[in-house]
Amino acid sequence: MTDAPSGSPFGTLYSVGVGPGDPELLTLKAARILAAAPAYAYFAKRGRPSHAHAIAAGHLRPDAQALRFDYPFTTEIPVTDPRYAMGMTAFYEAASATIGAKLEEGVSVALLCEGDPFFYGSAMYVFDRLSPRFAHEVVPGITGMSGAWARACRPMTHGDDVLTVLPGTLDGATLAAKLRTTDAAVIMKVGRNLPKIRAALAESGRSDQAIYVERGTMAEERIAKLDSIADGPAPYFSLVLVPGRRGPR
């Protein structure tokens, strides 16, 4: 990688998926791009280390310039509060302007993203703003859900099974309705929504199949039947698997 792509005075934006947590699950392509990038950017919760940065750290150039962007808030304000959308929009605008300035200098930037950049990834909001103006490449990553079901040793789908990915932020009635009509499901964004998710699983008759995975593929990994997990907020890196494969096989 050169600081500026051939034929262009500007740098290239690389949206790089770094996988679910285990550094060994970083792809060869991601490792190659990170090792060559003259600058990299990442998001983090204010006052906390970045998981994406921790995953990628061993592959980054020692002299690469780091651009850290601290979220203004994460769970402190409900997503339905108008202040949330306003604050996050301003945040992504500012981050995109900073990264864009680097690209205009002819410096390529690797934007780190946990999991896959286009699957509930913050990197997509920077991509939306900068891809019309700059050369870009998206490097897919192993998603948190695939890392989780691999570690839980739970085959999820077969044959004509339908897999549904559900955010736990949905209301309970909607969650239950979707769980009743799908073969397999992954419930993301568990956090403080765990009691609601548990109730929706019970209402849909899927509780006995539900597997809770916390920090899948990471050192602090925890995997258990959901009905053995106490109520209360779950950590950020947690999800619920509802395996399918209920038909003949």
The domains of the chain, with CATH numbers, are 13-142 (3.40.1010.10), 145-242 (3.30.950.10)
- Is residue 102 within 8 Å of residue 109, measured between CB atoms? yes
**Count of all residues that appear for the chain in the document:** 249
Does the pLDDT of residue 249 top 70, yes or no?
no
Query: Can you tell me the mean pLDDT for 122-145?
Result: 97
Residues 6+ apart with CB under 8 A from 75: 191, 192
Backbone φ and ψ of 211, nearest 5°: -115, 130
**pTM (predicted TM-score):** 0.90
* 11: nearest Cα among 31, 45, 35, 37: 37
Instruction: Return mean pLDDT, the chain.
Output: 93
Dihedral sign computed on CA atoms, order 121, 123, 124, 125: positive
Q: 86-89 — which CB contacts under 8 Å span 24+ positions?
A: none
- Is residue 192 within 8 Å of residue 165, measured between CB atoms? no
Which pLDDT does position 248 carry in this prediction? 65
pLDDT tens column, 140-179? 999 999 999 999 999 999 999 999 999 999 999 999 999 9
Percent of the chain with pLDDT over 70: 95
- Is residue 71 within 8 Å of residue 44, measured between CB atoms? yes
pLDDT band at 182, cuts 50/70/90? very high
- Is residue 35 within 8 Å of residue 52, measured between CB atoms? no
Does the pLDDT of residue 2 top 50, yes or no?
no
